[in-house]
Amino acid sequence: MAQPARLEPTLEARVEDDAVIRLRGVVNRFGPQTVHDGVDLDVRRGEVLGVVGGSGTGKSVLMRTIIGLREPQAGTIEVLGRDTRALDNAQSKELRSHWGVLFQDGALFSSLTVAENIMVPLKEYTNLSPRLMEEVTKVKVTMVGLPVEAGSKYPGQLSGGMRKRAGLARALALDPAIVFLDEPTAGLDPIGAANFDQLIRSLQQSLGLTVVMVTHDLDSLIAICDRIAVLIDKKVVVGTIPELLKLDHPWIQEYFRGPRARAAFGS
């Protein structure tokens, strides 16, 4: 399979503009229920952005909308300077090669080994030889802290933490500019969650990644997020934790000043 031609950068991508993702007026509805009503959001190049919100605020829905798994009822979505809703199939496929996604629990194909899972995007988006794919796969396995022999194992033979690392290796297979993480530390014990947080931060810094992370884990927000996007009242508010704490909104105050928050902050 021939590798698709690379998209030429638009003017927006070439100018001094650090927003690699830009949402304007995004609306998401499920029947009569409106989840997002005119969401505006900029994700800066090279940052780790945490996405939080109460139950039913559509955190994962927003992520799925950005990566094209859901069509919004209104609004524009630009990723790397491209309007995702204005691209044809070939252009959409090319753009998808610039991001990786880690879904909850890794979302690995159970009938494939870890190595075969990592090769899935390589087979879809590149024309690398089988030998080169094997070499790339080994690099990605070790990059996420797994032993090389984990590549020959099936997801069912791995612990939850190892499955997440394997899923992350697959998300990094194409050397993406952006990585989306959906509840990456859910189900992990505190030590495993802390180690995974540090892995994400280390990879983000060494690879220059932009990371969008949907999470409810306060420890993760404190440890690795540069800014936090809070979904409230069908909109989004973005800032650092000190900036958000200045806002007089009941949910924000309860979330960042409640008992769990005090424990996470060590106060």
Residue pair 229/236 in contact by the 8 Å Cβ criterion: yes
Q: Calculate the alpha carbon distances from 155 to 161, 171, 189, 195 in Å.
A: 11, 15, 19, 20
Nearest Cα to Cα of residue 154 among 188, 105, 116: 116
Residue 8 has pLDDT above 70, yes or no: no
Six-digit token string for 97: 């090669």
Nearest Cα to Cα of residue 172 among 201, 149, 143: 143
Over the stretch 96-130, which tens digit does the pLDDT of each residue have?
Answer: 999 999 987 668 999 999 999 999 999 999 999 99
Alpha-carbon span 165 to 226, nearest angstrom:
22
Confidence of residue 3 (pLDDT cuts 50, 70, 90): very low
Please name every residue paired with 74 in a beta bridge, in sequence order, or none if there are none. 27
Helical axes 160-171 vs 114-125, angle rounded to 10°: 20
Alpha-carbon span 144 to 223, nearest angstrom:
18
Over the stretch 187-239, which tens digit does the pLDDT of each residue have?
Answer: 899 999 999 999 999 999 999 999 999 998 899 999 999 999 999 999 999 99
Domain boundary assignment for the chain = 45-68+89-265
Q: Calculate the alpha carbon distances from 238 to 102, 232, 266 in Å.
A: 22, 11, 23
Alpha-carbon span 64 to 72, nearest angstrom:
10
Task: Label the pairing between strands 48-53 and 210-214.
Answer: parallel
Residue 167 has pLDDT above 70, yes or no: yes
What is the per-residue pLDDT for 12? Answer: 36
What average pLDDT is seen over the chain?
Answer: 90
Among 9-18, 46-55, 211-220, the minimum mean pLDDT is found in 9-18
Residue 16 has pLDDT above 70, yes or no: no
Q: In CATH, what is the architecture of 45-68+89-265?
A: 3-Layer(aba) Sandwich (3.40)
pTM over 0.95: no
What is the per-residue pLDDT for 11? Answer: 33
Nearest Cα to Cα of residue 180 among 189, 171, 188: 171
Among 35-39, 107-111, 166-170, the minimum mean pLDDT is found in 107-111
What b/e string do you get for 30-62 counting C-beta neighbours within 10 Å, with b at 16 or more? eeeeebbbebebbbbeebbbbbbbeeebbbbbb
